[in-house]
Chains A and B, each alone.
Chain A
Amino acid sequence: MHGGGGVAATGRVGGGASCWRGVSRATRLRLLAAAVGALLFFTARPCLAASEPGSSGGSSWGRHRLATSGFYPIWEDTGSLLEPADIQLASNGFRVRIPGDVQLGLQPTYYLHRAPNLEAKVSILKRAELQLALRQSVIVLFRNAQDRMITPVYASRLTNPNSNVVLAPASLHATWRPFSFLLVHGSATVLPMLSNEKDFENRAVGGLSAMVELPVVRGHSLLLHGGEVGLWDHDFAYLGASYRLNYAWFMMQLGFAYRLRPEGAQGSPLLSVGAYL
């Protein structure tokens, strides 16, 4: 996937071979996304009327048709937990629901990057239309974490050649369901960053995010993602969209987000593939 956003594009510096060639890649992607979205919306309407999200309906479509976790790292999650005794084994999260309305998890691919991590999430309110949860995560970035990418085509803003960095995001998450076809997952997060300060200062930064979920067809969801990090001391904002599928035990979510900074936009593809056990 392309890693850039093109917000600060080069401008027109010459004629294209055809009118389609003259259309920027970003515009083409937007048109494609709009077409796919419209197709899904119109084909989904009959199903929406008949389906009641949350019930298995006796089909092969999975039981986890609504997101129970965030997609964009650190800054978003949901107010809901897995069902009791459920296990999620996905590339962006191994999660297990344990007694006491608690869910434990970790991000497995970060271990491939030698970044150990854990998270605990506790449900504090469970109503049909509103759920609240608290989450505490810890991610350890050992020295030179920027060099842990598997492929050489991605680079990190963060470099820590002289320190181990501990990220400990604490957050409150809400899932509000005003309509059967619409869920809003909101998150408020504080991210403390702790190290020996040889590379950068210890600080805690707040952020707000929202994830709008549209369960358009049984087992299929479209999600819109957005967040602001830094708040009054703005650091970056992000916007993105994703598609989520749950069929039987299989789940997949594929999306793309842009991180927006004054220097430009970073495109960021996201993927999660896994299973519910």
Chain B
Amino acid sequence: MTRRSLTVAALLALAACDWDYYAMMNSVPIRGDPAANPVVHVMLAVDSLAYAAAVDAQSRGAFPGFTLARHLTGFPGTSDISWTRILHTAPIESYELQYYDPVENELVYSGYAGLLMHAVPFDTRPCYEAFDFSANGLTNALYNYESPRYSLGTTLDNVFTLLEGRAQTRSTEAFLAFINELDAIGHMEPYEDYLEALLVLDRRIEAFKAAHPERTWLFTLVSDHGHNFISSPDEKMIRFHDELPRLAIEAVDSLEGRDADGPLAAVPIVHARVTYVALHTLQEQAPEVARRVSGARFTDLTIAKLPAPNGHTEPWYGVWRDGGLALRFGFDARADSYLVDVSGALEALDLDWIGSGKGIVSVGDQELFERTRYSDFPDLLYRTRTALEPAGLEFPAQVLVSFRHPYASVGFEVPGGGNAIAIASFHGGMHRLDATGVVLTEARELPPAIRSDTFLELFPVFAARIAERGMLRAKVDANESLDYSSMP
């Protein structure tokens, strides 16, 4: 009898999931009053919607009446940390699911454990809990990569079904939905397919609005990073554990017991297929690790913190290219300005307008944003500084590597093959092609470029909705704000 009872209990526990409740809650025919909430703001958070693709889509007649802006997202440009910063939700451990814990001195979610976590929906990052809709069932993650175009159709079905229902509630002024599939389509399919998927999204929006004229629907599309649409064949896929020893840097899994005066060592975070790699190392070794890696054939630039020069107490940072320090700068938080050492190779970073020769020049954050927003490395100093500080995360890396096109980090590989997938396009790096997402809205006029950490300042209705859901936190960075009204 006891065995039978235990069996029953176990089976009941197995079945005690959301399916019945989900079916019940979506089978109640509710009806609201359009006069109570005549305007509904809809935020579609489209993973990996690239600026160039949005321009293409609008040139083909999509998104009529929408205003488009460059969305300059943080570095590295990967979803978890980007959405955390855009939505101002609780900090996550580090840039991606796999990370290095410097307290325990261990890699977390590496290998198969990390791979499995992508498919298991129970450990959702706080940023995704800010959305009213973030996934389409238990197997959404699998479908998303197995058949992303089909998955997009089912996701859009669910998004618009939920939107129509949620709008019945009188107090509904905003609805936030996360659409993941464009990221996978971009990684795996030709550009034309990606663009067609974007056009499908446009058609679905227009069809929904036409079918529900009882309310005014103001859609805003926002993305977390770009897609570079540069394919990386296998010979351009970098296996970082193989590369570090060639640079006389030991690739390790833990920094426990390492000596700053000992051989150089770093823990590479090799998880997803992206155009950046995070290296955890001893801070004392970080500048030299960054210098050496910057000279590798695949590196566009590296960044790391630097010791402050004599007479300075501010935090200082470095940008290395081609094996040398290209830019050195400090940040004065009280003045919200950057102290730039103009003796560096500023021209290669489109920063030679700051000055030349020798010395340190102070430049305001506002001016730097305005003058670099269209460059190859937009908002470079802010993005460098916040990438190396605990902005939206607990454990920043000591060195971050941005890849030169068309190189990419191979990420986790399944032994035995099957890895020749997701090589059509990448994101993650500092370059504008990797980093520039979009804000596309019919709710308001926009400045031509937006720092993603300030997105919610421009859309307070979405900030209010995230606050309602109990997920809104303080600013990502105390100096993140910009005065767009004073920019041309």
Q: Is the CB of B30 within 8 A of A158?
A: yes
Beyond A158-B26, A198-B170, A274-B12, whether A153 also contacts B150 by CB under 8 A is no
Beyond A1-B137, A4-B154, A14-B149, whether A157 also contacts B21 by CB under 8 A is no
Segment 325-353 of B: residues with Cβ below 8 Å from A: none
Q: B-facing mask of A141-180, CB < 8 A → 1, else 0?
A: 1000110111111111111111000010000000000000
Q: B-facing mask of A255-277, CB < 8 A → 1, else 0?
A: 00101011111111111111100
Q: Is A106 an interface residue (CB 8 A)?
A: no
Q: Is B414 an interface residue (CB 8 A)?
A: no
Number of A interface residues in the complex (CB < 8 A) = 83
Beyond A14-B149, A156-B25, A167-B28, whether A151 also contacts B154 by CB under 8 A is no
Segment 208-255 of A: residues with Cβ below 8 Å from B: 229-230, 235-236, 238, 249
Which stretch of B66-74, B189-197, B215-223, B455-463 is in the interface? B189-197
Q: Is the CB of A266 within 8 A of B168?
A: no
User: In the bound complex, how far is the Cα of B155 from the Cα of A239, in angstroms?
Assistant: 19
Q: Is B475 an interface residue (CB 8 A)?
A: no
Q: A-facing mask of B168-209, CB < 8 A → 1, else 0?
A: 111110000000000001000110110011001000100010
Chain A nearest CB, measured from B92 CB (Å): 15
Q: Is the CB of A259 within 8 A of B27?
A: yes
Q: Is B419 an interface residue (CB 8 A)?
A: no
Most chain A C-beta atoms within 10 Å of own C-beta, residue among B20, B133, B134, B143: B20
Q: Is the CB of B137 within 8 A of A6?
A: no
Most chain B C-beta atoms within 10 Å of own C-beta, residue among A110, A198, A200: A200
Q: B-facing mask of A2-14, CB < 8 A → 1, else 0?
A: 1111111111111
For residue A13, which residue of chain B has the nearest CB? B196
Chain A nearest CB, measured from B12 CB (Å): 5
Measured between beta carbons, the chain B residues less than 8 angstroms from A9 are 149-150, 153-154
Q: Is the CB of B149 within 8 A of A270?
A: no
Q: Is the CB of B8 within 8 A of A14?
A: no
Q: A-facing mask of B16-51, CB < 8 A → 1, else 0?
A: 111111111111111111000000000000000000
Q: Which of A10, A91, A115, A267 is B12 in contact with, Cβ under 8 Å?
A: A91
Q: Is the CB of B171 within 8 A of A91?
A: no
Beyond A8-B204, A113-B21, whether A152 also contacts B129 by CB under 8 A is yes
Q: A-facing mask of B458-485, CB < 8 A → 1, else 0?
A: 0000000000100000000000000000
Measured between beta carbons, the chain A residues less than 8 angstroms from B22 are 3, 149, 154, 156, 268
Segment 187-203 of A: residues with Cβ below 8 Å from B: 191, 193, 198-201, 203
Q: Is B136 an interface residue (CB 8 A)?
A: yes
Q: Which of B8, B154, B164, B170 is A199 in contact with, Cβ under 8 Å?
A: B170
User: In the bound complex, how far is the Cα of B165 from the Cα of A200, in angstroms?
Assistant: 11
Q: Is B161 an interface residue (CB 8 A)?
A: yes
Q: Which of B16, B31, B190 is A91 in contact with, Cβ under 8 Å?
A: B16
Measured between beta carbons, the chain B residues less than 8 angstroms from A261 are 161, 164
Q: Is the CB of B161 within 8 A of A6?
A: no
Q: Is A205 an interface residue (CB 8 A)?
A: yes
Chain B nearest CB, measured from A244 CB (Å): 14
Q: Is the CB of B128 within 8 A of A152?
A: yes
Q: Is A30 an interface residue (CB 8 A)?
A: no
Q: Is B52 an interface residue (CB 8 A)?
A: no
Q: Is the CB of B137 within 8 A of A158?
A: no
Q: Is the CB of B29 within 8 A of A153?
A: no
User: In the bound complex, how far is the Cα of B158 from the Cα of A54, in angstroms?
Assistant: 41
Q: Which of B16, B26, B30, B32 is A268 in contact with, Cβ under 8 Å?
A: B26
Q: Is the CB of A199 within 8 A of B140?
A: no
Chain B nearest CB, measured from A241 CB (Å): 14
Q: Is B152 an interface residue (CB 8 A)?
A: yes
Beyond A13-B197, A150-B17, whether A157 also contacts B162 by CB under 8 A is yes
Chain A nearest CB, measured from B188 CB (Å): 10
User: In the bound complex, how far is the Cα of B189 from the Cα of A10, in angstroms?
Assistant: 14
User: In the bound complex, how far is the Cα of B150 from the Cα of A107, in angstroms?
Assistant: 34
Q: A-facing mask of B416-444, CB < 8 A → 1, else 0?
A: 00000000000000000000000000000
User: In the bound complex, how far is the Cα of B72 from the Cα of A156, in angstroms?
Assistant: 33
User: In the bound complex, how far is the Cα of B27 from the Cα of A156, in angstroms?
Assistant: 9
Chain B nearest CB, measured from A125 CB (Å): 27
Measured between beta carbons, the chain B residues less than 8 angstroms from A236 are 27, 29
Measured between beta carbons, the chain B residues less than 8 angstroms from A263 are 157, 160-161, 163-164, 208, 211
Beyond A14-B189, A154-B18, A271-B15, whether A74 also contacts B32 by CB under 8 A is no
For residue A199, which residue of chain B has the nearest CB? B169
Q: Is the CB of A3 within 8 A of B200?
A: no
Measured between beta carbons, the chain B residues less than 8 angstroms from A103 are none
Q: Is the CB of B23 within 8 A of A72?
A: yes
Beyond A9-B153, A75-B27, whether A153 also contacts B135 by CB under 8 A is yes
User: In the bound complex, how far is the Cα of B23 from the Cα of A75, in angstroms?
Assistant: 11
Q: Is B80 an interface residue (CB 8 A)?
A: no
Chain A nearest CB, measured from B5 CB (Å): 9
Q: Is the CB of A14 within 8 A of B196?
A: yes
Q: Is the CB of A3 within 8 A of B158?
A: yes
Q: Is B121 an interface residue (CB 8 A)?
A: yes
Segment 24-74 of A: residues with Cβ below 8 Å from B: 24-26, 72-74
Q: A-facing mask of B354-388, CB < 8 A → 1, else 0?
A: 00000000000000000000000000000000000
Q: Is B308 an interface residue (CB 8 A)?
A: no
Chain A nearest CB, measured from B229 CB (Å): 14
User: In the bound complex, how far is the Cα of B22 from the Cα of A10, in angstroms?
Assistant: 25
Cross-chain pairs A/B with CB under 8 angstroms, 6 sampled? A75-B27, A109-B17, A149-B22, A151-B121, A269-B137, A271-B17
Binding site for A on B (CB under 8 A): 4, 8, 11-12, 14-33, 121-122, 124, 128-129, 132-140, 143, 146-147, 149-158, 160-166, 168-172, 185, 189-190, 192-193, 196-197, 200, 204, 208, 211, 468
Known: A6-B153, A73-B23. 4 other contacts (CB 8 A): A5-B157, A11-B200, A200-B33, A259-B161
* Smallest CB-CB A-B distances: 7 pairs: A4-B154, A157-B165, A3-B137, A264-B157, A91-B15, A14-B193, A9-B153
Binding site for B on A (CB under 8 A): 1-14, 24-26, 72-75, 89-92, 107-110, 112-113, 115, 139, 141, 145-146, 148-162, 167, 191, 193, 198-201, 203, 205, 229-230, 235-236, 238, 249, 257, 259, 261-275
